[in-house]
Structure 1
Amino acid sequence: MKYGIALFPSKQLQDKLNSYRKRYDPHYGYIPPHITVKEAFDIEKEQLDTTINMLEDIASSVQPIHIEVEKVSSFHPVNNVIYLKVKEEPNLLELHTKLHGEDFASKHHYKFVPHITIAQGLSDIEHSDILAQLKMIELHHEETIDQFQLLEQLDNKTWRVYKSFQLGKGRA
């Protein structure tokens, strides 16, 4: 089964971002706005409990994550993805590092750039036009996220939360 790990911002920010994603992101219906901290990976059913235990250990060792979003950016020319840049923050980087350590070794397709995607699958002309429009938006948002989610991809390609993990709480 395919899994991934993400942080979900507040509903307030998700609602604002979805107003753009509805128009510009073909993955809008598959997953809410999020910060991917571990790209999709496979877990065999027999390994799931062990993986969950490791994730609980990681969650207990990382403090809640303060996110600050302040500008629209793009991965162009690598690909035509437009996103909200999330400022690098020590706890976020620590979580990412631990999720890619020895127990969770996996290949990185790209360098970790904390972000929330708002547009993708665009032609070069669309990308250029939409990026110029979105860069004019006055945007600054800060919040603290106190949990991360293990997501499971369903047969219809949508993602659902399989389990949430509280950050910095210690194990019960």
Structure 2
Amino acid sequence: MHIGLVIFPSRAVQDFANSWRKRLDPRYSAIQPHLTLRPGLEVDEVELSMITAHIESVTATYAPFTIHYDRTSTFYPVTNVIYLALENPQPVITLQERLCSGLLEEDGPAYVYTPHVTLGQELSSDELHDVRASISQETIDFTDRVDRIHLLYQTANGSWTAYQSFLLQG
């Protein structure tokens, strides 16, 4: 089974993100807007059971928190992705660090973890700069309360769907 961990933002953030994603993100139909906590990994049933127990132990001691999206940014020139950025990403980073241990630990991640909601990806450099200019006209001011995370699995057609949700209870 191919799994991943995410935070789904509020409906307002999802609506804003989707207004851009439907034109700029080839993965638009595969998954709703999200903040990735752990990119996809392949697990068997035994590992899934142990991972679920690990997530439950982390979320039992981690308190809900608030995040604020205040701007867009890009990973250019490393990759042509434009995204919604957080004013203070530290609460998400700390949660991600606590979750991504043991079976969920990444082997030498390719990039420094940056929590974000993707608006567009796989863009040409010209597209990226045009979109960045257009989106800079938008006011970005969304506040979300994060009180749960979601374990997703990838279906046979490549879409991602919720397997289990975990409330932050600390």
- TM-score class, shorter-chain normalisation, is over 0.9
Q: Which moved more, 1:82-91 or 1:37-46?
A: 82-91
Query: Could you list the runs of 5+ residues in structure 2 that have no partner in the other structure?
Result: none
* Cα distance per residue 1:82-118 (max 9 Å; x no partner): 0000233443222111122234221222101111000
1:87 and 1:114 in contact (8 A); partners too: no
Residue equivalent to 1:76? 76
2:67 and 2:89 in contact (8 A); partners too: yes
Query: Could you list the runs of 5+ residues in structure 1 that have no partner in the other structure?
Result: none
Residue equivalent to 1:122? 123
1:74 and 1:83 in contact (8 A); partners too: yes
Structure 2 matches for 1:103-142, cutoff 5 A? 103-107=103-107, 108-142=109-143
Matched, 1:56 2:50: no
Give the fraction of aligned pairs with identical amino acids, expressed as a percent.
32
2:38 and 2:104 in contact (8 A); partners too: no
Structure 2 matches for 1:1-172, cutoff 5 A? 1-107=1-107, 108-168=109-169
> Counterparts of 1:164 and 1:11 in 2: how far apart (Å)?
17
> Counterparts of 1:53 and 1:127 in 2: how far apart (Å)?
41
> Counterparts of 2:127 and 2:90 in 1: how far apart (Å)?
35
> Counterparts of 1:89 and 1:76 in 2: how far apart (Å)?
19
What is the total number of aligned residue pairs between the two structures? 169
Q: Which moved more, 1:82-91 or 1:141-150?
A: 82-91
The 3 A distance-change label for structure 1 pair 61 and 157 is same
Residue identity opposite 2:127 in structure 1: E
1:5 and 1:38 in contact (8 A); partners too: yes
Aligned-residue Cα RMSD (Å) equals 1.3
Q: Report how far residue 8 of structure 1 moved.
A: 0.3
The TM-score, its normalising length taken from structure 1, stands at 0.93
Q: Report how far residue 45 of structure 1 moved.
A: 1.7
1:31 and 1:158 in contact (8 A); partners too: yes
> Counterparts of 2:136 and 2:5 in 1: how far apart (Å)?
28
2:93 and 2:114 in contact (8 A); partners too: no
> Counterparts of 2:90 and 2:80 in 1: how far apart (Å)?
28
1:64 and 1:168 in contact (8 A); partners too: yes
